[in-house]
Structure 1
Amino acid sequence: MTDASWVGADSGPREAGFGDYLELLKPRVMRLVVFTAAVGMFAASAPIHPVIAFAGLLCIAVGAGASGALNMWWDWDIDAVMRRTAGRPIPSGRVERGEALAIGLVLSVFAVVMLALFANMVAAGLLAFTIFFYAVIYSMWLKRSTPQNIVIGGAAGAFPPMIGWAVATGGVSVESVLMFALIFLWTPPHFWALALFRNDDYTRAGVPMLPVAAGTRVTRNHILTYALILAPAAILPAFTTIGGPVYLAGALVLNVMFLGGAWGLWRRNDAMAEADRYRAEKRFFGFSILYLFLHFVLILIETGLRAVDLSPAHWPMLS
């Protein structure tokens, strides 16, 4: 790359510790992956032994960590010139690229094989495809070649609830596909908001994110368009076995707020003060994380209500 000024910004490379190898696995991403997978597993309402449930989630977590390590191995040169990522273990010199590759490959095989043994081949196959999709299709191919990288590549982050559902049921259903669709359609506006206020980073690294390739106005148009497409897809689970009145009410509120945020971004323009645009874009990005988290919390609440037969759908009619 042309600029490596962010590498070793403080005191230079140091010997890697446990925390550095943990960071290699992207633990923050891993938490969201495990949470959505757990919701998919429990929302299936299928009998599953606690040991199998725990082992399944552990394998999914390890698989997510393996994907993160492979992504950092491949993207080390991009990470080195971006403020947001220059402190990661490889560009900062704390972990060797070869170590990251070995860790990613070993953990990938371990996670897939163990999930096949503990759960079933459908879940293991989905996990293997997810790791391949994120590491190869997204990281190695799409990310550097097309502004639509996150549109297609977002599928990698959308598979965990399907995997969790497959651990519990051994298959795929309409409900698990709808959970996949929720994350898949949420991913582009979420990451485009990040790309708006990190535009300089992506420009410096030469990554063709939409604001870099098409400009901020087009990006805001796309965010609003995807928010309009996302809203009905996010509400639809309310009318399936994983939803209900509680989910419907919550999803309606969340999607009105999400659409309002997207509309607010759409109305802004490059003539506005940079600080004001930055705050609005960062605020929308932060809310989008909460938006997704709360949709899966609502699914979990509906699952709990069904388990104890307290869903409003079962309340006696008032005479």
Structure 2
Amino acid sequence: MSDVGYSAPTQTQDAQMGDFFALLKPRVMSLVVFTALVGLLAAPVTVNPVVAFASILFVAVGAGASGALNMWWDADIDGVMRRTARRPIPSGRVEPGEALGLGLGLSFLSVMMLGLAANLLAAALLAFTIFFYAVVYSMWLKRATPQNIVIGGAAGAFPPVIGWAIATGGVSVEAWLMFALIFMWTPPHFWALALFMKSDYDDAGVPMLTVTHGRRTTRTHILVYTVLLAVLALATGFTAIGGPAYLATALVLNALFVKGAVDIWRRDEAQAEADGYVVEKKFFRLSLWYLFVHFSVILVEAAMRAFALGAW
């Protein structure tokens, strides 16, 4: 691990079960589980409920493994940043070696069990996702390039592809469309956060776009990626996983999202700092709902198709 601004806690507290659970990043895990489940249910194949439950459970375990490995590697910078300083390792409640062991153990368990419960392709995709997040993103991209969030976003975009592979044993255009939605959503979501948390990344030495190119450039990038995301989201409405309910929802939500990005782009730093980055925080909060709503409507469309065919 890098030693940027990090000093080990002087006093180690006894770890509780909640501390080890926190290592798994449960909020991130919940998004992984949801998007993987949508990928599974949106696939044109009916999956045995027991197989589906077990498979999604092992995907969740794999997501937790990624989180533990990320927290192990990033303990140095987590200790510097205000929003992460109370995480289990920098706060001294969990030893780094314990987090590493947990992450490696859960990685092996989740991949092996998903292969047994579903198929080898789904297991291979889960293994690659864990590797990409823990090694490619956490150990390399995050500290090496301002494109860390752009490229690293692929790790969070794989769950619906894994879900689709669980159901079908393969992947298709529809699975990659769901991947693309998450992939294109990730940069504006995190760059909006970086706009009002810039000092954290400065202090930790993380080359976030706000640090390397400034907030003005970041605002422009948010707008560009949001417009591209809106085009992709609306185009998805005309594909096999879309439909009238999805398209209507996407029109409203993406209009709001683009408007928010335009509002961010039009602001100068003096104005944003004076009002406490209220517009940026509003856009960030909307981004938290963006994926949930889109994937929920994809699930609704799948249910409507299955009902029409008598499959549900």
Aligned to 2:92: 93
Q: Is the 8 A contact 1:72 1:100 kept in 2?
A: yes
- The superposition leaves residues 43-85 of structure 1 with CA deviations (integer Å, 9 ceiling, x where unpaired) of 0031211111001100100000000000000000000000000
* SS in structure 1 at match of 2:93: coil
* SS in structure 1 at match of 2:108: helix
Q: Distance in 1 between matches of 2:144 and 2:168?
A: 37
Aligned to 1:174: 173
Alignment of 1:112-261 (within 5 A): 112-261=111-260
Q: Distance in 1 between matches of 2:9 and 2:215?
A: 28
- When residues 2 and 170 of structure 1 are mapped into structure 2, their CA distance, relative to the original with a 3 A threshold, is closer
TM-score using structure 2 length: 0.95
Aligned letter for 1:174? V
Q: Which runs of 5+ in 1 are unaligned?
A: 311-319
TM-score using structure 1 length: 0.93
Aligned to 2:46: 47
Deviation, structure 1 residue 236: 2.0
Q: Distance in 2 between matches of 1:28 and 1:7?
A: 25
Aligned letter for 2:210? P
- The superposition leaves residues 133-162 of structure 1 with CA deviations (integer Å, 9 ceiling, x where unpaired) of 000000000000000000000000000000
* SS in structure 2 at match of 1:272: helix
Aligned letter for 1:242? I
Aligned to 1:73: 72
* SS in structure 2 at match of 1:309: helix
* SS in structure 1 at match of 2:89: coil
Q: Is the 8 A contact 1:7 1:80 kept in 2?
A: no
* SS in structure 2 at match of 1:92: coil
Aligned letter for 1:201? D
Deviation, structure 1 residue 271: 2.0
Alignment root-mean-square deviation, CA? 1.6
Deviation, structure 1 residue 89: 0.3
- The superposition leaves residues 159-181 of structure 1 with CA deviations (integer Å, 9 ceiling, x where unpaired) of 00000000000000000000000
- When residues 24 and 53 of structure 1 are mapped into structure 2, their CA distance, relative to the original with a 3 A threshold, is same
Aligned letter for 1:142? L
Identity of aligned residues (%): 66
Aligned letter for 2:182? I
Runs of 4+ in 1 over 4 A off after TM superposition: 1-8
Aligned to 2:81: 82
- When residues 42 and 275 of structure 1 are mapped into structure 2, their CA distance, relative to the original with a 3 A threshold, is farther
Q: Distance in 1 between matches of 2:4 and 2:125?
A: 38
Aligned to 1:299: 298
Q: Is the 8 A contact 1:7 1:87 kept in 2?
A: no
Q: Which runs of 5+ in 2 are unaligned?
A: none
Q: Is the 8 A contact 1:6 1:82 kept in 2?
A: no
- The superposition leaves residues 171-195 of structure 1 with CA deviations (integer Å, 9 ceiling, x where unpaired) of 0000000000000000000000011
Aligned letter for 1:92? S
Q: Distance in 2 between matches of 1:132 and 1:45?
A: 29
Q: Distance in 2 between matches of 1:6 and 1:100?
A: 15
Q: Is the 8 A contact 2:72 2:96 kept in 1?
A: yes
Aligned letter for 2:174? E
Aligned to 2:284: 285
Q: Distance in 2 between matches of 1:150 and 1:30?
A: 18
Aligned to 1:62: 61
Q: Is the 8 A contact 2:55 2:118 kept in 1?
A: yes
